Amino acid sequence: MTFAYRRARALADDLAAGRATSEAIVAAALDRIARHDAALHACLAVADRERALEEARRQDRLRAEGGAPSRLAGIPILIKDNMVTRAFPTTCGSRILEGYRAPYDAAVVERLAAAGLVLLGKTNMDEFAMGSSTENSAFGPTRNPWDLERVPGGSSGGSAAAVAAGLVPLALGSDTGGSVRQPASLCGVVGLKPSYGRVSRYGLVAFASSLDQISPFARSVEDVALLLEIIAGRDARDATSREEPVPRYADALAAAANGHGLRGVRIGIPREYFVEGLDPEVEAAVRRALDVARAAGATVRDVSLPNLPYGIATYYLIATAEASSNLARYDGVKYGLRVGAESGLRGMYHATRREGFGAEVKRRILLGTFALSSGYYEAYYGRAQAVRERIRRDFARAFEEVDLVLGPTAPTPAFRIGEKTADPLTMYLSDIYTLPANLAELPGISIPAGASRAGLPIGVQILARPFDEPRLLAASHALEARLEAADARPPRFPGDA
Partner 1 sequence: MVGAPRYEAVIGLEVHAQLLTKTKIFCACPTRFGAGANTQVCPVCLGLPGSLPVLNEHAVALAIRAALALNLTVEPRSIFARKNYFYPDLPKGYQISQYAEPLARNGWMEIGDRGAGASVGPASGATAGAPRRIRIHRLHLEEDAGKSFHPEGGGDESLIDLNRCGVPLIEIVTEPDLRTPRGAGEYVERLKEILEFTEVCDGNMEEGSLRCDVNVSVRPAGATALGVKTEIKNLNSIKGVVAGLEAEIARQTRVLAGGGAVVQETLLWDARREVAVPMRSKEEAHDYRYFPEPDLPPLVVTPAEIERARRSLPELPAARRARLVAAFGLTPYDAGVLTATRALADYYEAAVAAYDPAKGAAAAKRVANWVQGEVLRLLKDGNRDIGAFRVAPSGIADLLRLLDAGEVSNLAAKGVLAEMDAKGICARAAMEAGGHRQISDEGVLREAVRRVIAENPDPVAQVRAGKEKTFAFLVGQVMKATRGTANPALATKILREGIGKS
Beta carbon nearer to partner 1, 378 or 496: 378
C-beta of 196 vs 415, nearer to partner 1: 196
* Residue 70 is among the residues annotated as catalytic for this protein: no
Sole window of 138-146, 331-339, 418-426, 449-457 interacting with partner 1 (rule: CB under 8 A):
331-339
Min dist. Cβ of residue 291 to partner 1 (A): 40
Please give the Cα distance from 380 to 315 (Å, whole number).
11
Among 1, 17, 38, 239, binds partner 1 (CB under 8 A): 239
Smallest distance from partner 1 to CB 79, Å: 12
DSSP 96-146: GGTT---SS--HHHHHHHHTT-EEEEEE--SGGG--SSSTT-TT----BTT
Considering only 3, 202, 395, 467, the residue that binds partner 1 (CB under 8 A) is 202
Q: Does 100 bind partner 1 (CB under 8 A)?
A: yes
Residue 331 engages partner 1 in binding (rule: CB under 8 A): yes
Task: Pick one of 328, 359, 379, 396: the residue that binds partner 1 (CB under 8 A).
Answer: 328
Q: Which of 46, 84, 162, 224 binds partner 1 (CB under 8 A)?
A: 84
**Contacts of 263 by beta carbon, 8 Å cutoff, 6+ apart:** 296, 297, 298
Whether residue 374 lies in the annotated active site: no
Residue 254 interacts with partner 1 (CB under 8 A): yes or no? no
Burial degree of 145 (CB within 10 A; 0-12, 13-18, 19+): buried
Distance of alpha carbon 100 from the chain centroid: 23
Distance (Å, whole) CA 396 – CA 404: 11
Cβ atoms 75, 118 nearer than 8 A: yes
Rounded to whole angstroms, how far apart are CA atoms 77 and 75? 7
Q: Tell which positions 142-201 bind partner 1, by CB under 8 A.
A: 201
Choosing from 47, 106, 367, 417, the residue that interacts with partner 1 (CB under 8 A) is 106
Q: Which is nearer to partner 1, 236 or 425 (CB)?
A: 236
Complex with partner 1: residue 212 or 487, whichever CB lies closer:
212
Q: Which of 155, 156, 324, 430 is catalytic?
A: 155
203 binds partner 1 (CB under 8 A): yes
**Identified binder of partner 1 from the candidate list 49, 244, 335, 392, rule CB under 8 A:** 335
| The only residue of 67, 86, 104, 274 in contact with partner 1, by rule CB under 8 A | 104
Comparison of 234 and 288: residue with beta carbon closer to partner 1: 234
Number of residues that bind partner 1 (CB under 8 A): 45
Of 102, 244, 121, give the one whose Cα is nearest residue 172. Answer: 121
Name the strand (E) or helix (H) holding 405: strand 404-408
CA geometry: angle 118, 123, 125, nearest 5 deg: 155
Task: Give whole-number Cα distances, 475 to 163, 172, 291, 293, 378, in Å.
Answer: 22, 22, 14, 9, 41
| Binding segment (CB under 8 A) for partner 1, from list 15-23, 34-42, 102-110, 187-195 | 102-110
Asked if 204 interacts with partner 1 (CB under 8 A), we say yes
Rounded to whole angstroms, the Cα distance separating 136 from 368 reads 18
Which x/- pattern over 343-382 shows residues binding partner 1 (rule: CB under 8 A)? Answer: -xx---x-------------------x--xxx--x---x-
Q: Is 191 helix (H, G, I), strand (E, B) or coil?
A: strand
- Based on the shown chain and the rule CB under 8 A, indicate whether residue 210 belongs to the binding site for partner 1: yes
Selected binder of partner 1 within 240, 299, 421, 426 (CB under 8 A): 240
Is 155 labeled as catalytic in the residue annotation? yes
Q: Is 338 in the site for partner 1 (CB under 8 A)?
A: no
Residue 229's H or E segment, with its range, is helix 221-231
Q: Which of 97, 115, 230, 405 binds partner 1 (CB under 8 A)?
A: 97
Report the residue number, 127 or 223, with the smaller CB distance to partner 1: 127
If one asks whether residue 15 binds partner 1 (CB under 8 A), the answer comes out as no
**Per rule CB under 8 A, is residue 333 in the interface with partner 1?**
yes
Q: Report yes or no: 449 and 459 within 8 Å, Cβ to Cβ.
A: yes
Give the active site residue among 174, 179, 200, 452: 179
Q: What is the distance between the terminal CA atoms of the chain, rounded to a whole angstrom?
A: 12
Which position among 17, 38, 236, 422 is part of the footprint of partner 1 (CB under 8 A)? 236
Q: Which is nearer to partner 1, 385 or 426 (CB)?
A: 385
Reply yes or no: is the peptide bond before residue 155 cis, omega within 30 of 0. yes
Do strands 118-123 and 76-80 pair parallel, antiparallel, or not at all (unpaired)?
A: parallel
444 closest CA partner among 257, 170, 211:
211
CA distances (Å), 437 to each of 62, 149, 432, in order?
A: 40, 30, 10
Q: How far is CA 103 from the centre of its chain?
A: 25
Establish if 329 lies at the interface with partner 1 (CB under 8 A): yes
* Residues annotated as catalytic (active site), given as ranges: 80, 155, 179
What is the contact surface with partner 1 in residues (CB under 8 A)?
A: 82-84, 90, 92, 97, 100, 102-104, 106, 201-206, 208-210, 236-240, 321-322, 324-325, 327-329, 331, 333-335, 344-345, 349, 369, 372-374, 377, 381
